[in-house]
Structure 1
Amino acid sequence: MVGVYAAVYSERDIAGERVAFCNLAAFCVLEEYRTHSLRLVRALLGQKGYVFTDLSPSGNVIALNERLGFTRLDTATRLVANLPRISGRGTRVTTDPAALERTLTGRDADVYRDHREAPAAQHLLVERDGAHGYLVYRRDRRKRLPLFATPLYAGGDRGVLRQAWPAVGAHLLRQGLPLTLAERRVLGFAPGGPGTELSQPRPKMFRAADVDPESIDHLYSELTLVRW
């Protein structure tokens, strides 16, 4: 074996229709065989009826994707400090599986069921004033430091997540994650407090004929399945 392009397949419900996704997850070809790399790409993209995503492209793959019709997603990201804080009255942050299973419904319940064993996906529930928010996130490395929380999915009432973010940040800090890479498109908001806008957030890309960017998320992908 001299080259591999690994992919993750899923079926998603978008606007009441089942849509097939192919997530391009990992691309590696030995240097002496690089001239054949495009054959792997074309074999994947030659599959009919799929929405294609590439959520961690790097190096020359980004330009190659653009030539093959991929579009960049809006990845505007704020780097936020997670600070110590005592949860206010009426706010509860928990990772208890029983609480998650008892509380989550609909799409959120499906997401939790499908990703509760995913190695890179971590789950937390925020309860506040009778409502709840749901967050799926991963631990990321930057400059080899595993100190960053990256949200992958925000469910439930996003207003609860926004209002209770100081408590969420404090929870992440206790998990050894002093910083959050808060992508606005994922969370639906930018957390307040100390932080800065990233000048060059990492790109994420997709290719689809009939699906808009708002329907693309980070689930069912290498971001939930692979730690790094």
Structure 2
Amino acid sequence: MAAPSVTVRPISAADATAVSRFLHQHLNQRVPAAAWSRLVTPPWKSDAPNHGFELLSDDGALVGVYAAVYSEREIGGERVAFCNLAAFCVLEEFRSHSLRLVRALLGQRGYVFTDLSPSGNVIALNERLGFHRLDTATKLVANLPRPPRRGAQVTTDPAALDRVLTGRDAEVYRDHRDAPAAQHLLVERNGAHGYLMFRRDRRKRLPLFATPLYAGGDPGGLEAAWPAVGAHLLRHGLPLTLAERRVLGFTPGGPGRELGSPRPKMFRSKDVGPESIDHLYSELTLVRW
């Protein structure tokens, strides 16, 4: 039997409701449709040509989505356009057309492409299409209690973050302070400070893990004050941190273990190396799951 025919079309802002409902129903029902809609309406400014691509059947029904999130970064003094492949779902009957969505996205010239939560067959497909794996070496770290004492002070107060952060850190914070999955903390110690953006993640259905997304501030500030950071995370219901060295720039000491198979993250670019790839401006900052 011939595969059903479909049309590939860019996702526009007008498609947000239909796309969000589709992702809620067919990709992850734990995530409300309203939450999926943030992929189409991120809080930062960007000249997005679309919000990904969708598959429509002959009768106009939505049967597949590959949502994308766009941004620009400054790398080596130049503005570089990024396209984050954010959420991929095609109904089983139409899976033979999945590659058309991928080709539509990757056929856009001038972008660095990232895929920060690939799973299943997508990983092997990405590798065939020229994606490279990032180094995601990760230590599962226990966040330990720490009695209050003088020294490191941890706060999530937006006014403090606005006051202390400067330069690149301030830009990152402003762009992501309204991103639903991103949480922010500032730690100050002996005149130095560290900035951590993180998300709450689930493993085996347990939402008990802090995953760092960005580390900034004074060099070494976050590492030196990590015991206070870990205690803060623990008080907020996060007993464990998935400490990816490439993100933090260091590996926290104390109890923990190296993960044997950390989840992959991938990118594709001719001109930009892995050192310039981060977790920002992506589904990791926009969608809680």
Q: TM-score, normalised by structure 2?
A: 0.78
Match of residue 50, structure 1, among 99, 106, 111: 111
**What's the offset of the Cα at 1:144?**
0.3
Deviates more, 1:149-158 or 1:71-80: 149-158
Q: Which amino acid aligns with 2:64?
A: G
Residues 42-83 of structure 1, C-alpha deviations (whole Å, 9 max, x = no match): 000000000000000000000000000000000000000001
The whole-number CA distance in structure 2 between the counterparts of 1:226 and 1:147 is 16
Match of residue 172, structure 1, among 233, 244, 255: 233
The whole-number CA distance in structure 1 between the counterparts of 2:148 and 2:188 is 11
**What's the offset of the Cα at 1:100?**
0.1
Q: Check if 1:111 corresponds to 2:187.
A: no
Residues 60-109 of structure 1, C-alpha deviations (whole Å, 9 max, x = no match): 00000000000000000000000100254221100000000000000100
Match of residue 186, structure 2, among 91, 115, 125: 125
1:23 counterpart residue number: 84
1:61 counterpart residue number: 122
8 Å Cα contact 1:91/1:164 also seen in 2? yes
> Secondary structure of 1:2's partner?
strand
Count of residue pairs the alignment pairs up: 228
The whole-number CA distance in structure 2 between the counterparts of 1:129 and 1:73 is 34
1:155-194 superposed matches below 5 A: 155-194=216-255
The whole-number CA distance in structure 2 between the counterparts of 1:58 and 1:219 is 19
2:162 counterpart residue number: 101
The whole-number CA distance in structure 2 between the counterparts of 1:185 and 1:198 is 14
Residues 174-207 of structure 1, C-alpha deviations (whole Å, 9 max, x = no match): 1100000000000000000000000000000000
Match of residue 76, structure 1, among 137, 147, 156: 137
The whole-number CA distance in structure 2 between the counterparts of 1:89 and 1:145 is 33
The whole-number CA distance in structure 2 between the counterparts of 1:222 and 1:206 is 14
2:270 counterpart residue number: 209
8 Å Cα contact 1:86/1:167 also seen in 2? no
Q: Which amino acid aligns with 1:224?
A: T
1:38 counterpart residue number: 99
**What's the offset of the Cα at 1:22?**
0.1
**What's the offset of the Cα at 1:157?**
1.8
The whole-number CA distance in structure 2 between the counterparts of 1:84 and 1:158 is 25
Match of residue 280, structure 2, among 196, 215, 219: 219
The whole-number CA distance in structure 2 between the counterparts of 1:143 and 1:39 is 32
Residues 134-181 of structure 1, C-alpha deviations (whole Å, 9 max, x = no match): 000000000000000000000012411111101000000011000000
The whole-number CA distance in structure 1 between the counterparts of 2:268 and 2:149 is 43
Q: TM-score, normalised by structure 1?
A: 0.99
The whole-number CA distance in structure 1 between the counterparts of 2:246 and 2:148 is 26
Provide the aligned C-alpha RMSD in A: 0.7
**What's the offset of the Cα at 1:34?**
0.2
Deviates more, 1:156-165 or 1:3-12: 156-165
8 Å Cα contact 1:21/1:50 also seen in 2? yes
Identical aligned residues as a percent: 86
> Secondary structure of 2:97's partner?
helix
